[in-house]
Structure formats: structure tokens, C-alpha cells
Amino acid sequence: MSTTGKLRLGPLPKAETVKLTIGLTVALKAELDRYAALYAQTYGEAVDAVTLIPDMLEAFMARDRGFKHTGSQRSRGYRETPSQ
């Protein structure tokens, strides 16, 4: 682990995933790649931007007061598998 400091996004948990396809601007993809490089330097674990995006989105939604106010699922609940 590096002494670069602590990133807002901590070590990534293992979880079941669902695949989505999204479009990003070239600039945003470059910033995500830069963040992934800093993440690898900080935590000693090489990851690509695709791996970081779900946890970044989850952290964003967990901190969104307007979203929390609606009474939707919270915290790690986003990763639960829907009932069939």
C-alpha cells in the first residue's frame, strides 16, 4: 500500500454483478483511467476503470440526500439480486 493518502473509494468488495453497457465521453474515460491508476498506487491492487465504476456509483447514490429521502434501498442493498 502506498502513502499517497486515502481515496474516497476504499478497497473494492467482492459481489455478484450484472453487466450494463454505457457510453462515456473521452474526457471522462481518461479521468476514470487516471483514478484507476491512483487507486492501484494507493491500494496496491491494479484495477481498470470498469471495475471501479459500480462502487463509484454506489458511493454517489449512498450520499445523495434527495435519493435517500425517497426511501429507496440504501447502502449495500443496491447489490442484492432482485426476486424472480
The rounded distance, in Å, linking the Cα atoms of 47 and 38 is 10
Tens-place pLDDT, residues 16-49: 878 889 999 999 999 999 999 999 999 999 999 9
pLDDT at 81 over 50: no
What pLDDT shows up at residue 83? 47
What pLDDT shows up at residue 84? 43
The rounded distance, in Å, linking the Cα atoms of 75 and 63 is 9
Answer whether 19's CB lies under 8 Å from 39's CB. Answer: no
Instruction: Please state which of the ranges 4-8, 58-62, 65-69, 74-78 shows the lowest mean pLDDT.
Output: 74-78
